Amino acid sequence: MRLRMRLIAAAVAASAALGPPGCATVTRVIAPKAVCENPLVIPSADFETVWRETVAVLDEYFDIREENRLARTIVTDPVIGATLLEPWRGDSVGLDDRLESTLQTIRRFARVQVTPVPGRGFAVKLEVLKELEDLARPDRQTAGRAVFNNDSPVNRTREIVGPVPIPLQWIPRGRDTKLEQVILNRIRDALFL
């Protein structure tokens, strides 16, 4: 009886994990989303629609620092990467990026350039840059000291409510192409391409 109940529970769990039955599930597993070219060419003559949808999708992942319609650029504020304990945030794509953001302080920011393509619409060029925090020593290090630390006075600071000062030393880690592909796919889906 117990074995039968376990098998039924396993079947229900597998059914819930795989989603609804049918060809759509099989197609999604076998044929993943196509890779978007960067820059993504959008066949639309309406700059305003392309701009608004690009800003709306970027705003889901980052806080917008600057929008310049004349230069056709969007720049975002840096965001600290999502960890394993923050599954609702989508800025760390994949388990390896989430693990890296859990063990290291990683931040990302984006730059977007929307340029007209003669006769074809607009090209959305997206760059998501990743940086690693560079500290002289681990922050709030307590382990590894065999003697009492007399170097610094007792820390009597209170918790600061408000903006946290951002360290000035960050090591560039290059582009985050996985997050770029997720954002470009979202822009393509938002514009029904």
The arithmetic mean of pLDDT across residues 43-68, rounded, is: 93
The arithmetic mean of pLDDT across residues 157-164, rounded, is: 65
Q: Give tens-digit pLDDT for 108-141.
A: 999 999 999 998 899 999 999 999 988 776 666 6
156-191 per-residue burial string, b: 16 or more CB within 10 A, e: under 16: eeeeeeeeeeeeeebeeeeebeebbbbbbbbbbeeb
SS3 124: strand
* pLDDT computed for residue 99 by the predictor: 92
The arithmetic mean of pLDDT across residues 73-85, rounded, is: 93
Residue 71: pLDDT over 90: yes
Please name each of the domains of the chain with its CATH number.
33-137+168-193 (3.30.530.50)
Higher per-residue confidence, 36 vs 179: 179
Looking at the DSSP bridge assignments, the partners of residue 109 are 129
